[in-house]
Structure 1
């Protein structure tokens, strides 16, 4: 079994020297840092010349996606103007061209953006709400900032909307499209 060392650090001030790595991978992390450009610059800095970056972000919400269902319910029933920790627009890199330009602006070359049609599978209509509350960050904070009555109304609306994702075997297969951006130093 391969061994790995896990380190905790600040993505905006990576604790590594310049030109340290052949590759950097960032799975949905860039959307959670206060200054994404600084974090991307740090990823670029620690890469060796010719090294590669791969980073993933969520696609923008659409009515036919899980985030579309969730954020539509919050927008209609809840309050979007709630105190959350400082952070960037959750979906600022959700369009391929914007993501590509962000990577190019940092200095990455051979930038490519690929769509990923992934699916979350849950066993009940409230499975998406549960997943967000147990594993989300900013969306979780947005839900928890609502009153209990509003949270219940949002949950009921999402559960009702989940019927569009129910398959014949009773599993709910929620489209959660993403983008993966890659580039070379």
Structure 2
């Protein structure tokens, strides 16, 4: 039900307007894009840290921000579960809050374990490729550049005329 901003509503219709609105999909798209941007900025800020620590922080943010939940039992739409859980805590529903937190923890553990599994799998694959003599493409490029023999640069000296005399003779 989409209602114009100038139209008056009956009391029974207000809950439906609060839980559904016209730009619902685009709101979620913008929200997800902003969460990904935030994770990218944080990842850049801590880029020199170990991967496991970076992935832990990223997993916490992704699980907390992107786990969906219904804001109320009869709503057709979703909102971030962390927000729903905090509202339930403020309303005094500690059982609902703990249920939401448990769901977020399970999502976090899933994201964290899958990411670490992919990271260890990639490291194992690279190590296996190096043992077989098939270096990955990025290692080939660094190996070729280090194998090139470059000429040693000679710095000219001021007042060194002896090289001119030997060349003429």
Quickly name the TM-score band, shorter chain normalised. under 0.3
Higher RCO (CA < 8 A, seq sep 6+): 1
TM-score, length-normalised on structure 2? 0.24
TM-score normalised by L of structure 1: 0.22
Computing the radius of gyration from Cα coordinates, the structure with the larger value is 2
Point out the structure with the larger helix share: 2
Q: Which has the higher strand share?
A: 1
